[in-house]
Amino acid sequence: MKKIFLSLVMIAGLSGSLVFAMPASAAPDTSTEKNIQELCKANPNSSVCADLKDPNADTALNNTFRNIINVLIFVAGIIAVIMITISGIRFVTGRGSPDAVTKARNMLIYSIVGLVIAVSAFAIVNFVLSRL
What pLDDT digit, counting tens, does each position of 53-111 carry? 555 555 777 778 888 888 888 898 889 889 999 998 998 998 888 899 999 999 999 99
**Cα(17)–Cα(130) distance, rounded to whole angstroms?**
20
Which of 119, 118, 117, 125 lies closest to 19 in space, CA to CA? 119
Q: Is the pTM of this model over 0.85?
A: no
**Cα(100)–Cα(32) distance, rounded to whole angstroms?**
62
Is 48:41 a contact under the CB 8 Å cutoff? no
